[in-house]
Amino acid sequence: MLTRNPESDNDRHMRERARAVAQAGGIDEALAKGALPKLVDTTLSEALVLGLMKQGVRKYFAIFGHGSTDLGNVLRIYEEEGATRTVNCRNEVEMAHAATALRWQYGELSAVVTSIGPGALQAFAGSLAAASNSVGVYHIYGDETTFGEGYNMQQVPKEEQGLFGRLTAVLGQSYVLHTPAGLRDALRRGALCVNHPYRAGPFYLLLPLNTQPAQVTINLAALPARPELPKLAPADDASLDAAAAMIAKAGKVAIKAGGGTRGHDTAIRRLAEAAGAAVVLSPGSTGVLPDAHPQNMHVGGSKGSISGNYAMAEAELLLVIGSRGVCQADCSGIGYKKAEAVININGDLGDALHYNKTVALVGDIGIVADRLAAKLEAAAAKKNKSAWLSACAAEKAEWAEFKRKRFALPPLQDAAWGKPVLAQPAAIKIVCDFAKQIGATKLFDAGDVQANGFQIVEDERTGETYTETGASYMGFAVSALVGAALAEKPKYAIAFTGDGSFMMNPQVLIDAVEHGVRGMIVIFDNRRMAAISGLQLAQYNREFRTNDSVAVDYVQLASSVSGVLSVCGEGGADNLRTALKTAHSHDGLSVVHVPVYAGPEELAGLGAWGQWNVGNWCADVQDAWIKQDL
Ligand SMILES: Cc1ncc(C[n+]2csc(CCOP(=O)(O)OP(=O)(O)O)c2C)c(N)n1
Ligand SMILES: [Mg+2]
């Protein structure tokens, strides 16, 4: 039964502190004004909220359970006093994605709060996206009691201690708050993990059920703040001079711009122009160089493009920047067939030395790229590259023509739909153009939607597209919309999703409405998990269990949620454009359902231009990898 008791002394003191930090604008400010004492006796739960606030974390995504009621009570009081904000969600995977998107898209650090066990494990699974894309997020999970009075429901059922801590430490870094006074150390480690300059990731705080309400004395002045780190670069010029000489000498240079180049648009452009290099993008780095820039060869890799993969295969010198060489990006290690040497700019020593025969330029991408560009400009290093760049331009023109034919394809008769429907590339292109027209951010889900998407987008700068290619987590894009619920300045976004991906996280329909998100979901429905059907056909000539026979009326499904505007986008290109306009006019979440073709028609796909070490291709790929020197 829910009863309302008068507020306890503990809660009243907590409320006074929450009010003090809210009114002062922060902990340091409250200390400076004398509104809070330096030493505070409180519970671990409140100490954690204060500690996170010291690092600028005031936003929480939560699904509470018996494993987090004490923390939930703190967050309630802090929210009532305007000190923190918490949004409740319907699925932990979804909220982990939302928190990842809030940091990735908006740069805002938040915390995910779950119960113990199933909720925690779901959020943990979702945090793979943060880990794979180097996005810092705090995850706070309930954990088993430290007295060991008996098994806790939902703990890992073994006679061993610290198991959730061990599990989470495999994916990121974790700290079990077994001893409340360990909080200061936990938050010092967490601050570096979630704010790491080039290898940020999820930091897991395991909060035992019985230590949450345990008393602790904290020194507010000593709680670790967000670290301020200087940018690092090579101390002398030796390696930069060596790299500049290699670039000046080579006739064919390719830059591989990985996800780490995001946001370094100006430096990458200057370096590319000074080097006379063809720039090959990774799936996650579209926009780093404007699409129409003559040296932009589009994506290269396992899926790739005609021009991107051409530049990779033909380059004699490879300049890798901010890439960790994920299989999709470098054809499982065999994409650079003629490269004789590598120059690698990366903050991480391991990534900088990923390839053999490497001159490693370790440090901040922007700083190192600028220093190298200055040397190349002085040496007029680009002057012997015009034949190379013309050859690349011809390939780019071919790729443009290849795509144009597919975008112009009229609807095709489809077996599952029993009527003509647009092919996915043509439909995605229409939605991309619409996004550009209205200035919307594009979020891409997994599958063919994602692969076609990164082959199609024509971005001008970093940040126009977020495609979670690190983990390629189905359901990421739709869940990412919920990140805007806590953003200071939310931006209209369109989530491009497949029928398979959407159904992984349809909770967004409810959460986006509840938390006032404005945005659009476009479901490209081919009645199957086509990316996998495609792989099965390409490898084994047969599909297996990648579709089902159950028709779903997504328009009706979405419109059953109050506040969602659901629109049918079938019937060809013009109808889709009209549907997008209608959807966009809705002041909230809208869903556009687009039936798309699945089948053998060649013009219905954008092709795969590189190799991949999967399925029955492994023997060939590995054979090539062993023989090459890179
Ligand atoms: C959570 C999760 N489960 C499984 C996969 C493996 N997977 C990658 S793409 C894909 C199918 C995607 O289907 P859909 O969203 O309908 O897009 P389509 O390929 O049909 O365009 C699957 C199963 C994944 N990436 N993520
Ligand atoms: Mg599908």
Q: What is the 3-state secondary structure (H, E, C) of 154-208?
A: CCCCCCCCCHHHHHHHHHCEEEECCCHHHHHHHHHHHHHHHCCCCCCCEEEEEEE
Which of 326, 501, 533, 597 to probe ligand 1 with, by most ligand atoms within 8 A of CB?
501
Mean pLDDT of 298-318: 98
Q: Which amino acid belongs to residue 621?
A: V
Please report which confidence band the pLDDT of residue 355 belongs to, taking 50, 70 and 90 as the band edges.
very high
CA distance 538 to 526: 18
Amino acid identity for residue 617 in this structure = W
User: What does the pLDDT average to over 243-258?
Assistant: 98
Smallest-distance ligand from the CA of 526? 2
Residue 586 Cα distances to 166, 490, 498, 516, 591, angstroms: 46, 16, 22, 12, 10
Mean pLDDT of 111-136: 98
Residue 595 alpha carbon to ligand 2 centre in Å: 10
Quote the CA–CA distance of 53 and 84 in Å, as a whole number: 8
Q: CA dihedral defined by 146, 149, 151, 153, rounded to 10 degrees?
A: -80
Give the per-residue pLDDT at 599. 94
User: Which residue has the CA at smallest separation from atom 2 of ligand 1?
Assistant: 474
Over residues 316-324, mean pLDDT: 97
Among the bound ligands, the one closest to the CA of 533 = 1
Phi, psi of 142 (to 5 degrees): -65, 150
pLDDT category of residue 592 using cuts at 50, 70 and 90 = very high
pLDDT digits (tens, 9 = 90+) for 261-302: 999 999 999 999 999 999 999 999 999 999 999 999 999 999
Distance 450 CA to ligand 1 centre (A): 9
Asked if the model's pLDDT at residue 244 lies above 70, the reply is yes
Site to substitute for ligand 1 among 327, 521, 526, 529, most atoms within 8 A of C-beta: 529
- Write the CA distances from 434 to 407, 439, 465, 494, integer angstroms: 14, 8, 13, 10
**Predicted local confidence at residue 443, as pLDDT:** 98
Q: Is residue 533 within 8 Å of 546, Cβ to Cβ?
A: yes
Distance 185 CA to ligand 1 centre (A): 40
Nearest to 99 by CA among 117, 83, 111: 111
Burial 270-300 (b: 16+ CB within 10 A, else e): bbbbbbbbbbbbbbbbbbbbeeeeebbbbbb
- With beta carbons less than 8 A apart as the criterion, state whether 468 and 476 touch: yes
Q: Which protein residue has the closest C-alpha to ligand 1 atom 23? A: 529
- Helix (H) / strand (E) element for 442: namely strand 441-444
Tell me the helix, strand and coil percentages in the chain, rounded to 5. Answer: 45, 15, 40
pLDDT for res 5:
77
Report the alpha-carbon distance of residue 168 to residue 356 in Å, rounded: 32
As given in the structure block, the two tokens for residue 198 are 């080039």
| CA of 29 relative to ligand 2 center, distance in Å | 52
What's the gap in Å between 151 CA and the centre of ligand 2? 42
**Model pLDDT, residue 4:** 73
The residue to mutate among 474, 544, 547, having the most atoms of ligand 1 within 8 angstroms of its beta carbon, is 474
Kindly state the average pLDDT of the residues 519-543.
97
- Using pLDDT thresholds of 50, 70 and 90, give the confidence band for residue 1: low
Amino acid at 509: L
Quick one: which of 49, 204, 241 has its CA closest to 130?
204
Measured in Å, residue 307 CA sits from the centre of ligand 2 at 27
Mean model confidence pLDDT for the chain: 97
pLDDT (mean) for 588-604? 97
Write the residue with the smallest CA distance to atom 21 of ligand 1.
Answer: 448
- Total count of residues recorded for the chain: 630
What distance in angstroms lies between residue 526's CA and the mean position of ligand 2's atoms? 5
pLDDT (average), residues 474-494: 98
**In angstroms, what is the span from residue 511 Cα to ligand 2's centroid?**
23
Report the relative pairing of strands 278-281 and 253-257 from DSSP bridges: parallel
Sheet of 278-281: strand order equals 296-299, 278-281, 253-257, 317-321, 341-346, 358-362
pLDDT band at 6; cut points 50, 70, 90 = confident
Provide the pLDDT confidence category of residue 413 given band limits of 50, 70 and 90: very high
Q: Is the pLDDT of residue 614 over 90?
A: yes
Position 606 confidence tier, pLDDT thresholds 50, 70, 90: very high
Report pLDDT for 171: 97
Sign, Cα dihedral of 404, 407, 409, 415: positive
Residue 3: is its pLDDT beyond 70?
A: no
Q: Which two tokens stand for residue 609?
A: 């231009």
Instruction: Encode pLDDT of 63-121 as tens digits.
Output: 999 999 999 999 999 999 999 999 999 999 999 999 999 999 999 999 999 999 999 99
DSSP 8-state secondary structure symbol assigned to residue 8: P
Q: What number does the ligand 1 atom closest to the CA of 502 have?
A: 15
In the predicted structure, residue 2 carries a pLDDT above the cut 70? no
Tens digit of each residue's pLDDT (9 = 90 or more) over 150-187? 899 999 999 999 999 999 999 999 999 999 999 999 99
* Percent of the chain clearing pLDDT 70 (strictly above): 100
Coil, strand or helix: which one is 17?
helix
Alpha carbon dihedral 170, 172, 173, 174, in 10-degree steps, equals: -70
- With a Cβ cut-off of 6 Å, ligand 1 is lined by 445-449, 472-474, 498-501, 504, 524, 526, 528-532
Which tokens sit at 148?
A: 């060991």
Return the ligand 1 atom nearest residue 504 CA.
1
The encoded tokens of residue 570 equal 């079938």
Query: Do the Cβ atoms of 582 and 559 come closer than 8 Å?
Result: no
- Give how far Cα 489 sits from Cα of 443, 447, 563, Å: 17, 30, 21
Q: What is the DSSP letter of 446?
A: S
pLDDT at residue 69, rounded to an integer: 96
Dist. CA 187–CA 193, nearest whole Å: 10
- Helices of type H across 25-68: 27-33, 44-54
Contacts of 425 (CB under 8 A, 6+ apart): 403, 406, 407, 409, 452, 455, 456, 604, 605, 606
Residue for token pair 């370094």: 264
The residue whose CA is least distant from atom 1 of ligand 1 is 474
Q: Rounded to the nearest whole angstrom, what is the distance from the C-alpha of residue 122 to the centroid of ligand 2?
A: 23
Indicate the angle between helix axes 386-407 and 306-314, nearest 10 degrees. 150
Identify whether the C-beta of residue 152 lies closer than 8 Å to the C-beta of residue 116. yes
Say yes or no to pLDDT of 53 above 90: yes
- Residues 6+ positions from 316 with CB-CB distance below 8 Å: 250, 251, 252, 253, 338, 339, 340
For 39, 224, 364, 423, 456, the CA distances from 216, given in Å and listed in that order, are 10, 17, 40, 61, 55
User: Residue 73 phi/psi, 5° resolution?
Assistant: -65, -40
Flag whether pLDDT at 531 surpasses 70: yes
Ligand 1 atom 9: the closest Cα is on which residue? 447
